[in-house]
């Protein structure tokens, strides 16, 4: 097995705890890697006046992939800009993939199997704002080129993963130019994939239908803000943010992380749910397996997913956010113990 180089950003709050446990699991599962650590986030800012190490981008570009924990972003004007946005823009991570699947005995809805693919660079998260007297303005930028990229990515993902349908989420009935362009491009791209169904839903209707009839959806493609909001809604349906991971993908680089925040109230207590970080790690393994044509690490990802499913659904070893009393480390101990039943 080749040895991989992984850039690691532990982050803030519960980040260092769940990242270290995910890496312990990767090591026990047989993933051969060298980990290069990068300081970033609020704590690092308070010590140094910098939000991320100066050479962070170089480290990530030289690595095979990056695994990170959540990073705190202060609220309001006069505070530093998001480290996550900095990484997305500088590494051109234009696609944010968030898979959601029901967990037996945990989820509110037992028929959820949705992949949300969020445009990751534009929209209201472009970060272009102005203030004049008592008026503030944010520019919502949608470009044809970026929309083509994310829509093609969504259809390619659906085709490659044997999905049946791609649904665009928009508000083109009101935002006729910006969402109108997003919708127009989506249907232009859809013509290139006649073997896949394509349809559309207004964003507020999407929220309703995801709660009432989630089985109607397969792959969702959304502008930036809508994807951010809807992914938290879907996370609630399947049991909580602590179960969910994400992949931020570009043509050359990729960063993997849980979708939840820093959870300061749980930090240092050893009770944070590590499953979202583990899910991010398995997404990383799958991406590397495809990129490097390395079936061995794809098998590691499958084994970890099976072991996690067994621990959560059958053994009910759960952290407090899911109604249990297990520690972060206990959950990973149990997953490591179950791995032996899946390694072939």
pLDDT band at residue 120 under the 50/70/90 scheme:
very high
User: Residue 289: is its pLDDT beyond 90?
Assistant: yes
Q: Could you confirm whether domain 1-93+245-344 is CATH 3.40.718.10?
A: yes
How far apart are alpha carbons 190 and 188 in whole angstroms? Answer: 5
Pairing outcome for strands 197-202 and 219-222: unpaired
- What are residue 256's DSSP bridge partners? 67, 247
pLDDT digits (tens, 9 = 90+) for 167-193: 999 999 999 999 999 999 999 999 999
What does the mean pLDDT of the chain come to?
A: 96
pLDDT on residue 127: 80
Distance of CA 113 to the CA centre of its chain: 15
Annotated domain spans of the chain = 1-93+245-344, 108-238
- For the domain spanning 108-238, the CATH number is 3.40.718.10
Q: How far is CA 324 from the centre of its chain?
A: 24
Q: Which residue has the higher pLDDT, 296 or 78?
A: 296
Map residue 258 onto helix, strand or coil. Answer: strand
**Span 94-120, mean pLDDT?**
96
Over residues 223-273, the pLDDT tens digits come to 999 999 999 999 999 999 999 999 999 999 999 999 999 999 999 999 999
**One fold for both 1-93+245-344 and 108-238?**
yes
Four-point Cα dihedral 169, 100, 109, 311, nearest 10: -170
Q: What are phi and psi of 141, to 5 degrees?
A: -105, 125
pLDDT digits (tens, 9 = 90+) for 65-103: 999 999 998 888 877 889 999 999 999 999 999 999 999
List, in sequence order, every beta strand (DSSP E) within the chain: 4-9, 33-37, 65-68, 95-101, 113-119, 129-132, 135-138, 165-170, 197-202, 219-222, 245-249, 254-258
């Amino acid at each position: 097995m080749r040895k991989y180089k992984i850039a690691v950003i532990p982050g803030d709050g519960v980040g260092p705890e769940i990242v270290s446990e995910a890496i312990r699991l990767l090591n026990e599962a047989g993933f051969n890697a060298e980990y290069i650590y990068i300081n970033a986030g609020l704590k690092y800012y308070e010590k140094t006046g910098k939000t991320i190490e100066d050479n962070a981008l170089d480290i990530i570009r030289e690595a095979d992939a990056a695994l990170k924990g959540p990073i705190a972003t202060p609220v309001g004007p006069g505070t530093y800009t998001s480290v996550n946005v900095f990484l997305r823009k500088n590494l051109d991570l234009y696609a944010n993939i968030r898979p959601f699947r029901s967990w037996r005995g945990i989820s509110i809805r037992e028929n959820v199997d949705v992949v949300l693919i969020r445009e990751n660079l534009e929209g209201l998260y472009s970060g272009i704002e102005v203030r004049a007297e008592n008026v503030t303005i944010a520019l919502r930028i949608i470009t044809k080129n970026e929309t083509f990229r994310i829509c093609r990515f969504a259809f390619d993902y659906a085709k490659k993963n044997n999905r049946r349908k791609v649904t665009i989420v928009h508000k083109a009935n009101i935002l006729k130019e910006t969402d109108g362009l997003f919708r127009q491009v989506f249907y232009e791209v859809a013509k290139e994939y006649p073997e896949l169904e394509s349809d559309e839903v207004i964003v507020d209707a999407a929220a309703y239908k995801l709660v009432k009839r989630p089985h109607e959806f397969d792959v969702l493609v959304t502008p930036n803000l809508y994807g951010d909001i809807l992914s938290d809604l879907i996370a609630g349906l399947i049991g909580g943010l602590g179960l969910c991971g994400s992949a931020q993908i570009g043509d050359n680089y990729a960063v993997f992380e849980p979708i939840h925040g820093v959870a300061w109230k749980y930090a240092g207590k050893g009770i944070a749910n590590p499953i979202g970080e583990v899910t991010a790690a398995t997404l990383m393994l799958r991406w590397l397996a495809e990129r490097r044509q390395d079936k061995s690490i794809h098998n590691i990802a499958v084994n970890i997913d099976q072991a996690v499913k067994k621990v959560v659904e059958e053994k009910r070893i759960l952290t407090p956010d899911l109604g249990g009393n297990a520690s972060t480390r206990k959950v990973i101990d149990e997953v490591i113990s179950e791995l032996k039943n899946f390694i072939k």
